[in-house]
């Protein structure tokens, strides 16, 4: 019961930080970190992969964070099939208490985070993991930055005829196809790519945010992992 109440408090705190479409101009100029997690499929705090990119207006490159995390439990069959990862991929990898602080430092104190259904899933998973780690270390920490959820954004911007809001379907709607699915860095990139596409569909003006294509490194990483869908 206590764990359930704790989770509900976390969810309320996280939802209070969402940046809706009408408030996007309030975060112009801030660094944006798009990120995604892969989980073992056993517990929502058993993170096995973190992928993130950091974009800042005026920066000459896109910063990348990508780590595989040694699972604390086992990776279920569905996750192995979706990601292509198995236990051999995690041999010698650090565990989450050693990797999570580096990710939080990568995000920083003032950045806005972005992801696909990021508020209901990934931010919550990180906070559940932080709470579990705190039981051993005594060092309590929360991860509750302002965030843009591309699912919520798409539902606000796209026509009512749109029925599929998973990341793959929305990217295909805008003519992009991922070369690899269900991996953290690819989905983080895909979420920001979708964000850029959605901005162009805002009817009352486009807020100014950095583009993945503003720098050679950003263009390279997109074209390495995504391709234009000729049928769209």
Assess contact for 207 and 51: CB atoms under 8 A.
Answer: no
Cα distances (angstroms) measured from residue 28 to each of 24, 58, 129, 174? 7, 12, 30, 23
What was the pLDDT predicted at 5?
86
What was the pLDDT predicted at 232?
52
Model pLDDT for residues 134-167, shown as the tens digit of each residue: 988 888 889 999 999 999 999 999 988 899 999 9
Under the banding of pLDDT at 50, 70 and 90, the label for residue 202 is confident
Q: Where are the domains of the chain?
A: 2-228
Architecture in CATH for domain 2-228: 2-Layer Sandwich (3.30)
Query: Rounded mean pLDDT of the chain?
Result: 93
- If one compares 208 and 46, the residue with the highest pLDDT of the two is 46
Q: What is the pTM of this model?
A: 0.95
Beta strand residue intervals within the chain, DSSP E? 32-39, 47-55, 63-68, 112-115, 147-149, 176-178, 226-228
């Amino acid at each position: 019961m206590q764990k359930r109440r704790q989770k509900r408090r976390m969810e309320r705190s996280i939802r209070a930080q969402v940046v809706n479409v009408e408030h996007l101009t309030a975060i112009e100029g801030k660094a944006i970190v798009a990120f995604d997690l892969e989980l073992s499929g056993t517990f929502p705090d058993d993170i096995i992969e973190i992928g993130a990119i950091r974009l800042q207006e005026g920066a000459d490159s896109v910063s990348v964070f990508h780590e595989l995390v040694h699972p604390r439990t086992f990776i279920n069959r569905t996750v192995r099939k979706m990601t292509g990862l198995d236990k051999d991929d995690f041999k010698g990898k650090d565990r989450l208490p050693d990797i999570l602080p580096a990710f939080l430092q990568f995000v920083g104190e003032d950045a806005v985070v972005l992801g696909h259904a990021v508020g209901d899933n990934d931010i919550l998973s990180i906070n559940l993991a932080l709470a579990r780690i705190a039981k051993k270390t005594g060092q309590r920490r929360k991860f509750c930055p302002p965030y843009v959820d591309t699912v919520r954004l798409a539902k606000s911007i796209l026509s009512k005829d749109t029925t599929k809001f998973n990341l793959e379907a929305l990217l295909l709607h805008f003519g992009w196809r991922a070369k690899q699915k269900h991996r953290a860095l690819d989905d983080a990139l895909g979420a920001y790519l979708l964000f850029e596409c959605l901005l162009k569909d805002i009817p009352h003006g486009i807020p100014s945010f950095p583009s993945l294509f503003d720098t050679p490194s950003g263009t390279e990483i997109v074209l390495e992992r995504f391709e234009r869908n000729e049928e769209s």
